[in-house]
Structure 1
Amino acid sequence: MRVSTFVPARDSRHRHACFALYRALVREGRRIPLPSDLLSSNASGPHKGHPIPGLIQKQFRRNKADVSKRLVFVALTAGYKFLSIFREAQSHSSDAHAKIVSLVRPRVEAARRREADAAATPHPPAEPKPKPNYPPLVTRRVDLEGNVTYVPTRRPIPAAQFTGPRRHIPRVFVTAEGIPFLRLKKPQPRILGGVIRNLTQRRVRAVELAEALRHEGLVEAGHEDQWEDLVAREAAREGVADLLDGSELGAEMDRKAGYAGSVRTALAAMAESMQRSRLNAVARTEALVRIADEEKKLWREERARWKEERRKKGRGAKEG
Structure 2
Amino acid sequence: MHKVLVPKHSGTHRFACLSLYRALLQQCRSSTETAWLDETRSLVRQNFRKYKILQSPSQTVHALRAGYEALDLISSSHTNLQHRERITDIITQAKSQRDKYARMQKRSQPVAPPPTPLTPKAARKAESIRFQNETSRRHPDAKSVLDRPQFLGGKKRHVPVLVNARGLPFLRFKKPQPRNVSSVIRTKLNNRWEWIQRRDRLKVDLLFAEDEEIWDRMTGSKDLPAWPENTETAIEDVKGKINNFDKQTKDLAQKMWNVVLAERAMAAEEAATEQSEQ
TM-score, scaled relative to structure 2: 0.49
Q: Which has the larger radius of gyration?
A: 2
TM-score, scaled relative to structure 1: 0.43
- More helix, by proportion: 2
